[in-house]
Structure formats: structure tokens, C-alpha cells
Amino acid sequence: MDFNRCFRSLDISLALHYGLGMVAQRYALVGQNIDNSLSPKLMNAAFKARGIDAEYVLRPTEPEDLDEVIDELRTGDWAGLNITRPYKCDFFTLVDLPSDNAARAKAVNTLWFRNGQIHGALTDVQGVLEPLIRAGFAGGGEGLILGAGGAARAAALALSKMGTKVHLAARRPEQAQALCGELLLEKTGEVLDLNDAQQIETILPQIDSLIQATPLGMQNEAHVFDFGPIKESCIAFEMVYAPAETPFIKSAQEMALSSVKGLEMLEEQGEAAIKLWVG
């Protein structure tokens, strides 16, 4: 028996029943290769600014550990969790009550336990919407998303909510095609092969937003296509936040495009997660 877990659950129960001062709430980021994540620094600063007695840490997780993580959430080890690559879709299958966005995308990035059930949300949608609006994107038109994973799902929903026709480009086009079918987007465009630079460059002149939703750039890798054909009014959105100046962002800056860096999305989705956890 895990006595530490039992005693922690008892502490929380007693505090709720008698109104005692509770121990600091613990939150965590769940994922692989997360040692260099900025999330603990940002989230702990956000908790401190709000006067919330909480601690946010890393919870490195292997594929075989997902059920264990859910058990930890149920038994009070964590007051809430954020989910990152590569588990956003995997954890969706373990949630009891998904939010509308999560249910539609079949992906989650925020979990909490309440009233005997695991709740799940996809705050990445807000993480895309708010920075896009601040950058001057008014919606409508056409958008191209690079990638077909959990982050791309959030981006597609965000663009769709703004009435934008969504094109998808992936290294496995069949994955992007499946994503389009699952999301039931109001305006679905073309599915492109991300390995085919000519295909991408052909569609660039007609798009109003370009969202980079793959891990490419974390090691300073660059996409194979040329930004040259893109129109000046297009907004470039990078989801990778480290390094701050990815090759994608540098290419956007060279074309004098309005751009959104990954850190803006990280901050926005984190704000949304805190609101779900603590109100």
C-alpha cells in the first residue's frame, strides 16, 4: 500500500471537512522529453502572482505509465495535470468528462479530478485563438496547418471557430485526411504532403494564416518549402517555443510577416488551464 498517498488523500479530506489550512496543491506536466520545459517556471510564477499556494513540477511519463498517472490524479497526488507530446490523444481515452473542444478533437492537454470523475479539456484551442486575434487575424479566409497531431487538432478547431477554411499538410497525408474526417470542420480545404515543397508553395499565395504545429524547429530544423510565394498579410504562428527564434519564425520575419511565437501559446493555454483548476 502507498501510505504517503493515503495520508495525502486523508489530509485533503480532513481539510475540506473541517476547513483546515490545506497543504500546497501539486500540479504537473506529463509527457516525454520534458526536462527542459518552461512550464514549471511559467506556471509557478502564475500561481504566485495569484496568491495560490501551489507547486507545478514535471512528471516524465512512458507509454506504459498512463494508467498510473490517472490513478495518481484520482487519489489526490495531483490537483491537476497538463499533457504534452506525445500523449494528448492517448489521455483522451482515459477521461470521463471531456470538454466540447476535447471531445471534438479527441485530444486533451488539461486534466483534473472532481466529483468522482476525470475531467479533460483542450486549452490549446484558446492558446491559438487569443494570440491570433492579438496579432490582427480577423478570421475567415484560408489557413494552412503544418502537422496532424494533437497540436494540429487544436489549431484546426481554432481556425474553424473563426470561419476559416482549413488546409492540412502532414508527412503522412493519410493522417491529415483522417483528422479532417474526425473534426468535421465547417470548411475543409486540401490535404497536402508536407514532404512535397512544390505542393506547399503552390497553396501559399492564397492563405491568410500559416500555423506550424509539428515538433520541427526544436533542434533548429527547417521545413523544406520556401516562404517566397506567401502574401504579406499572412500571419505566421509557431507552436514550438524553444528556441524562441525557430527557423520558421526567422523565415516569417525575413518576409516581414506578422508572427506569433510559441511562448505566447504556452502562456495562453496555461492561463486557461489555471482557470479550470482553481476558478
Residue 211 pairs in a beta bridge with: 145, 237
Residue 230 cell numbers, joined: 506567401
HSE-CB of 264 using CA atoms within 13 angstroms: 15
Q: Which residues pair with 120 in a beta bridge?
A: 98, 111
Residue positions annotated with a catalytic role: 88
Residue 172 Cα distances to 5, 81, 94, 148, 175, angstroms: 43, 30, 26, 8, 6
Burial class of residue 51, CB neighbours in 10 A (0-12, 13-18, 19+): exposed
Beta bridge partners of 25: 54
Residue 83 to residue 202: CA distance in whole angstroms? 35
